[in-house]
Amino acid sequence: STSSFGHPGAGGSHAFADPENKISFAYVMNQMEQSVLPNEKSLRLVDAIYR
């Protein structure tokens, strides 16, 4: 939604909040990746919570 906000973190972690849909999400791994972008697993989780 247009009211959502969030931020990527180190190693592929990320978090966001979507006040319009009353959703918040944080993804943190126990092993760092080489990217600052969300990985495929976390993107699938985000897709699942919006279904």
Q: Into how many domains does the chain fold?
A: 1
pLDDT for the residue numbered 2: 92
pLDDT for the residue numbered 40: 84
Give CA–CA dist 37/8, Å, rounded: 7
The overall pTM is greater than 0.85: no
The model's pLDDT over 11-51, given as tens digits with 9 standing for 90+, comes to: 888 899 999 999 999 998 888 877 777 788 888 999 999 99
Radius of gyration of the chain (CA): 11
Give yes or no for residue 1 having a pLDDT over 80. Answer: yes
Check if the beta carbon of residue 36 is closer than 8 Å to that of residue 10.
yes
**What domain range includes position 25?**
5-49
